[in-house]
Amino acid sequence: MKNSCSFLLFLVLMGTLQVNAQSDRWQQSVSYKMEVDMDVNTNQYQGTQVIAYTNNSPDTLHRVFFHLYYNAFQPNSMMDVRSRTIADPDRRVGDRISKLSPEEIGYLHVQQLTMNGLPVDYEEVETILEGNLPQPILPFTTVLFETRFEGQVPLQVRRAGRDSEEGVRYSMSQWYPKISNYDYQGWHANPYIGREFYGIWGDFDVRIKIDKEYTLGGTGYLQNNNEIGHGYEDEGVKVPTPESDKLTWHFNAPRVHDFMWAADPNYTHDKIEMDNGVTIHHLYIKSSRTASNWEKLKSYTPAALSYMSEHFGEYPYKQFSVIQGGDGGMEYPMSTLITGHRTLGSLVGVMVHELVHSWFHGVLGNNESLYPWMDEGFTSYASSLTMAHIFSEQPSENPHRGSFAGYQRLVESGLEEPLATHADHFHTNVAYGSAAYAKGALFLVQLGYIIGEETLANAMLRYWNTWKYRHPNPNDVIRVMEKESGLELDWFKEYWVYTTKTIDYAIKSVKEDGENTLLTLERKGLMPMPLDVVITYQDGSQETLYLPLAIQRGEKPEEKGKPKRIHTERWPWVEPEKTVTIEVPFRQIKSVEIDPSERMADINRDNNKKEF
pLDDT digits (tens, 9 = 90+) for 405-435: 999 999 999 999 999 999 999 999 999 999 9
State the average pLDDT over residues 291-319.
98
pLDDT at position 10, please? 39
pLDDT single digits (tens) 69-123: 999 999 999 999 999 999 999 999 999 999 999 999 999 999 999 999 999 999 9
Per-residue pLDDT at 127: 98
SS3 124: strand
**Cβ atoms of residues 550 and 570 within 8 Å:** yes
152 φ, ψ to 5°?
Answer: -125, 130
Mean pLDDT calculated for residue range 551-570: 95
Q: What is the three-class DSSP state of 227?
A: helix
Q: How far apart are CA 586 and CA 515, in angstroms?
A: 5
DSSP element (H, E) containing 324: strand 319-324
**439-479 pLDDT per residue, tens:** 999 999 999 999 999 999 999 999 999 999 999 999 999 99
To the nearest whole percent, how much of the chain has pLDDT over 70?
96
State the pLDDT at residue 573: 83
Q: Is 531 exposed, middle or buried (0-12, 13-18, 19+ CB in 10 A)?
A: buried
484 vs 293: CA distance, rounded Å: 41
Return d(Cα 255, Cα 221) in angstroms, integer.
12
**Position 295 pLDDT exceeds 50:** yes
CA-nearest of 208, 216, 220, 252 to 39 is 208
**Phi, psi (rounded to 5 degrees) for 462:** -65, -40
pLDDT tens digit sequence for 30-79: 999 999 999 999 999 999 999 999 999 999 999 999 999 999 999 999 99
Q: 584-600 pLDDT, tens per residue?
A: 998 999 999 999 999 99
Distance CA 28, CA 475 (A): 21
In the predicted model, what is the mean pLDDT of residues 236-242?
Answer: 96
If you average pLDDT over residues 21-26, what whole number do you get?
A: 64
Mean pLDDT computed over every residue of the chain: 95
Answer yes or no: is pLDDT of 4 > 50.
no
pLDDT for 397 equals 77
Per-residue pLDDT band at 285 (split at 50, 70, 90): very high
pLDDT band for 282, please (50, 70, 90 cuts).
very high
Task: List pLDDT tens digits, range 173-184.
Answer: 999 999 999 999
Q: What is the pLDDT of residue 395?
A: 63
Q: Over 395-457, what HEC string results?
A: CCCCCCHHHHHHHHHHHHHCCCCCCCCCHHHCCCHHHHHHHHHHHHHHHHHHHHHHHCHHHHH
HEC sequence for 445-483: HHHHHHHCHHHHHHHHHHHHHHHCCCCCCHHHHHHHHHH
pLDDT digits (tens, 9 = 90+) for 119-147: 999 999 999 999 999 999 999 999 999 99
Between CA 146 and CA 222 the distance in angstroms is 24
Least confident of 29-38, 207-216, 391-400, 402-411: 391-400
Please name every residue paired with 54 in a beta bridge, in sequence order, or none if there are none: 29, 142
> Three-class SS string for 506-574?
EEEEEEECCCEEEEEEEECCCCCCCEEEEEEECCCCEEEEEECEHHHCCCCCCCCCCCCEEEECCECCC
Neighbours of 102 (CB within 10 A): 9
Burial of 171 (0-12, 13-18, 19+ CB in 10 A): buried
Kindly state the percentage of the chain with pLDDT values over 90.
93
